[in-house]
């Protein structure tokens, strides 16, 4: 049996899950932000030793961080003359309608690197103005004088006729610079979104290519696959040319892992809650994973199939501070891996993890299974200084930090549920990541969610999700025809070129026949609408569109004509997956705590039982307050909650669904005000 390894690079830790003849092996190392491959190589050496013919599936944040931190390649854009400003104009929408100090839209291509080319293709594909070779040579000469690191080619209506983009790419092929053509990256209509997605690809491709080349050099002959934002993996060679597809690869793997865990727990409707060191990612799963083609990264539209994930800057490493107006802020700044939270021994600012430690919600002697001992005094000194500025006690300050962070994460869950037409009370909250289990029960109570699931492998679920992910590739083309002009046979004919391409490319990946699944879908809208809904291609796809429209927007009109906008094909290569452990039990039993300690909940000190997850057997459980500590993460069970370990080793918590009312001490009032204000001030709380 060849070894397979899932590797997830996070803001604080790099997680590895090794699958070999021994089963699953878990390992964590501190991330190295200056060069993520350093931590990966260290982790591989410590966890798996020499890897000869194994396979590594890696979720990378390299492309994401390059866009967010504005350190991607120097990109030049060749576009149709007269349309050089499309990326700056966008759709002429203002993010803040009444803001007189509105800032200009951010673009990844400066004006001096934007070049107009005299050519024109009509919306039906007819060539209205052919490219003149001498003019193309002149544009390329001016472009080369600027010495860009990558080139994006985005011409009008190339989604229906790509001949002009192909001609430009052919002229650029003699020059050793990566070229991204919009008809290859996103062959769909809507020029702004198509060009933006293509430019993002050009912006991140050189950096991703260098990173993958360096990583492959370190891992030798092992096969390297990269996780995509759609929940599947692709070969490293493919990721080099279409790096834009890896933008949300780590969080996407977490959703894949969350769905697998939910199935083992017998739950089909969950909201995944991935709280790491820097951010929190949430996604709603209603039997199937939600995928969207409408997303943004750093003010730039990204129109590719991506798991519908909402991210907020609240994690275990999020830094707390008092701003100039006297408000308590938590995040989005993070202590990251270096220096990390103060309790790690080097941090100089107070974080959410430090606040949990000060409230007794972490066992300082059993962090990472005892491989790391937390420093309690360092965050206490920092908290005393910050508490003085806020005129609070250390306890009230720590509670305020937790409540502000929780309010940010509650709001994120509402975005993927209430705003999508779902009631969060109908779902279980599946929490993972290094910090997810510490906050999940309190957030579930605030949202009146009855069940919380903390997986056995909560601290490394994204890495495990990479081993559970299949190989996936997306294909699309624009149709833009009224549905009543398309018979079923004609509609299916539109899919044949996409399906043929999918089968060919997946066969090259080693998938065919029983190991290959091809799914077809269409983007549909009422005629006259500007946006569409993706539905599976079945004979009654019109009825499904009406149902989804009613759920999302509160109404539908079955008598109104519809339009088919895009055809989509998803090719899935079924990969070998690990079997999650399972142990049946006959009777429930009360777990035995290894010791007790003081912890603070709702301003009150409680004697709290501490359990080692590794010592708990299926069927065992207990009452809150309790801490369930493992080698990877800690689960906090507040007062009023109960927990039980299921057959797969997951911690299932249930309890109160509303915050209890009680008389509070005067010293707690400030913290209560912090919590109340945080609900309406986007991460800020007035003291």
* Domain stops at, among 538, 573, 608: 573
2 pLDDT above the threshold of 80: no
Domain identity same for 97 and 149: yes
Whether residue 671 is contained in a domain is answered as: no
What confidence tier does 335 reach under pLDDT thresholds 50, 70, 90? confident
Residue 59: phi and psi, rounded to 5, are -100, 120
Residue 624: phi and psi, rounded to 5, are -80, 160
At 217 the three-state DSSP class reads: helix
CB 456 within 8 A of CB 471: no
The confidence score (pLDDT) of residue 115 equals: 97
Residue 234 vs residues 277, 439, 469, 567: alpha-carbon distances, Å: 26, 34, 10, 22
What confidence tier does 654 reach under pLDDT thresholds 50, 70, 90? very high
CB 350 within 8 A of CB 319: yes
Whether residue 649 is contained in a domain is answered as: no
- Taking only the tens place, the pLDDT of each residue in 235-255 is 898 898 899 999 888 889 999
Domain identity same for 162 and 215: no
Rounded Cα–Cα distance for residues 108 and 672 (Å) = 43
Rounded Cα–Cα distance for residues 481 and 483 (Å) = 6
Domain identity same for 81 and 178: yes
Whether residue 607 is contained in a domain is answered as: no
* Chain position carrying tokens 């003149």: 132
Rounded Cα–Cα distance for residues 259 and 249 (Å) = 16
CATH of the domain at 194: 3.40.50
The confidence score (pLDDT) of residue 656 equals: 63
* Domain stops at, among 205, 238, 262: 205
* Domain stops at, among 509, 543, 573: 573
Whether residue 215 is contained in a domain is answered as: yes
> Residues 348-373: what's their mean pLDDT?
90
Rounded Cα–Cα distance for residues 133 and 139 (Å) = 10
Whether residue 305 is contained in a domain is answered as: no
Rounded Cα–Cα distance for residues 166 and 157 (Å) = 13
Domain identity same for 41 and 114: no
Domain identity same for 184 and 95: yes
Domain identity same for 482 and 510: yes
Domain identity same for 134 and 236: no
CATH of the domain at 501: 3.30.1490
DSSP 301-336: EE-S-EE--EEES--TTEEEEE-TTSEEEEEEEE-T
> Residue 664 has which token pair?
């509070």
> Residues 511-515: what's their mean pLDDT?
83
CB 178 within 8 A of CB 150: yes
Rounded Cα–Cα distance for residues 14 and 614 (Å) = 22
Rounded Cα–Cα distance for residues 364 and 353 (Å) = 11
Domain identity same for 55 and 170: no
Q: Which helix (H) or strand (E) holds 76?
A: strand 75-80
Whether residue 275 is contained in a domain is answered as: no
- The set of residues, in sequence order, having a beta carbon less than 8 Å from that of 422 and lying 6+ positions away, is 284, 286
Rounded Cα–Cα distance for residues 93 and 99 (Å) = 12
Domain identity same for 192 and 214: no
Q: Which residues span the domain enclosing 112?
A: 75-205
> Residues 521-534: what's their mean pLDDT?
94
Residue 125: phi and psi, rounded to 5, are 95, -5
Least confident of 12-16, 38-42, 78-82, 341-345: 12-16
Domain identity same for 220 and 175: no
CATH of the domain at 14: 3.30.420.40
Whether residue 447 is contained in a domain is answered as: no
User: Considering the chain, what is the average pLDDT of its residues?
Assistant: 88
Domain identity same for 94 and 199: yes
Domain count, the chain: 3
Q: Tally Cβ neighbours within 10 Å of residue 237.
A: 12
Q: With 0-12 CB in 10 A as exposed, 13-18 as middle and 19+ as buried, what is 407? A: buried
- Taking only the tens place, the pLDDT of each residue in 104-163 is 777 899 999 999 999 999 999 999 999 999 999 999 999 999 999 999 999 999 999 999
The confidence score (pLDDT) of residue 550 equals: 94
* Chain position carrying tokens 């004088």: 145
- Taking only the tens place, the pLDDT of each residue in 138-148 is 999 999 999 99
Beta strand spans in 94-182 (E): 114-117, 120-121, 127-129, 150-154, 179-181
Residue in 553, 494, 549 with CA at minimum distance from that of residue 525: 549
The confidence score (pLDDT) of residue 1 equals: 57
- Taking only the tens place, the pLDDT of each residue in 585-601 is 777 889 999 999 999 99
Domain identity same for 89 and 46: no
Whether residue 131 is contained in a domain is answered as: yes
Residue % of the chain over a pLDDT of 70: 95
CB 414 within 8 A of CB 393: no
């Amino acid at each position: 049996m060849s070894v397979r390894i899932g590797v997830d690079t996070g803001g604080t830790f790099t997680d590895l899950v090794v699958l070999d003849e021994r089963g699953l092996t878990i390992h964590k190392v501190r991330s190295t932000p200056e060069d993520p491959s350093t931590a990966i190589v260290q982790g591989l050496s410590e966890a798996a030793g020499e890897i000869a013919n194994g396979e590594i599936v890696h979720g990378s944040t390299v492309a994401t961080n390059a866009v967010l931190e504005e350190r991607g390649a120097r990109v030049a854009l060749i576009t149709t003359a007269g349309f050089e400003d499309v990326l700056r104009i966008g759709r002429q929408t203002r993010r803040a309608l009444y803001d007189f100090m509105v800032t200009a839209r951010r673009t990844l291509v400066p004006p001096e690197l934007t070049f107009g080319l005299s050519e024109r293709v009509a919306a039906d594909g007819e060539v209205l103005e052919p490219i003149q070779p001498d003019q193309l040579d002149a544009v390329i000469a001016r472009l080369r004088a600027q010495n860009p690191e990558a080139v994006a080619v985005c011409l009008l209506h190339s989604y229906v006729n790509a001949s002009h983009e192909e001609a430009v790419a052919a002229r650029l092929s003699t020059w050793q610079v990566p070229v991204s053509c919009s008809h290859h990256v996103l062959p769909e209509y809507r020029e702004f979104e198509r060009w933006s997605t293509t430019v993002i690809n050009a912006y991140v491709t050189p950096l991703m290519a260098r990173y993958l080349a360096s990583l492959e050099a370190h891992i030798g002959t092992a096969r390297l696959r990269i996780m995509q934002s759609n929940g599947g993996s692709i070969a490293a060679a493919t990721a080099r040319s279409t790096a834009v597809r890896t933008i949300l690869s780590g969080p996407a793997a977490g959703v894949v892992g969350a769905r697998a865990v939910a199935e083992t727990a017998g739950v089909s409707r969950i909201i995944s809650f991935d709280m790491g060191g820097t951010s929190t990612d949430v996604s709603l799963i209603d039997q199937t994973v939600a995928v969207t083609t409408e997303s943004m990264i750093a003010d730039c539209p990204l129109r590719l199939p991506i798991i519908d994930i909402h991210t907020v800057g609240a994690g275990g490493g999020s830094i707390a501070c008092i701003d100039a107006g006297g408000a308590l802020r938590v995040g989005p700044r993070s202590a990251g891996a270096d220096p990390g939270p103060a309790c790690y021994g080097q941090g100089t600012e107070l974080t959410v993890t430090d606040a949990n430690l000060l409230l007794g919600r972490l066992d300082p002697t059993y962090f990472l299974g005892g491989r790391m001992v937390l420093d309690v005094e360092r965050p206490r000194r920092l908290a005393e200084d910050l508490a003085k500025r806020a005129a609070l006690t250390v306890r009230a300050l720590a509670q305020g930090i937790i409540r502000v962070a929780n309010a940010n994460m509650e709001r994120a869950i509402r975005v993927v549920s209430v705003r999508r037409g779902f009631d969060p009370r109908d779902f279980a909250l599946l929490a993972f990541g290094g910090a997810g289990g510490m906050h999940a029960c309190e957030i579930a109570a605030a949202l009146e969610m009855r069940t919380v699931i903390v997986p056995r492998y909560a601290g490394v679920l994204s890495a495990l999700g990479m081993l559970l992910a299949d190989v996936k590739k997306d294909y699309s083309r624009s149709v833009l025809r009224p549905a009543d002009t398309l018979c079923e046979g004609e509609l299916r004919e539109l899919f044949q070129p996409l399906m043929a391409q999918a089968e060919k490319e997946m066969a090259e990946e080693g998938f065919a026949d029983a190991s290959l699944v091809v799914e077809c879908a269409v983007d549909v809208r009422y005629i006259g609408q500007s946006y569409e809904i993706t539905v599976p291609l079945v004979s009654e796809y019109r009825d499904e569109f009406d149902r989804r429209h009613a759920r999302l927007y509160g109404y539908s009109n079955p008598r109104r004509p519809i339009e088919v906008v895009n055809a989509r094909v998803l090719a899935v290569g079924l990969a070998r997956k690990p079997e999650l452990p399972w142990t049946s039990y006959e009777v429930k039993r009360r777990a035995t705590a290894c010791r007790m300690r003081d912890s603070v909940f709702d301003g009150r000190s409680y004697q709290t039982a501490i359990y080692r997850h590794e010592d708990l057997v299926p069927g065992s459980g207990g009452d809150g307050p309790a801490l369930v500590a493992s080698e990877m993460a800690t689960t906090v069970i507040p007062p009023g909650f109960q927990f039980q370990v299921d057959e797969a080793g997951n911690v299932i918590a249930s309890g109160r669904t509303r915050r209890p009312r009680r008389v509070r001490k005067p010293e707690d009032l400030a913290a209560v005000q912090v919590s109340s204000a945080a609900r309406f001030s986007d991460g800020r709380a007035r003291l």
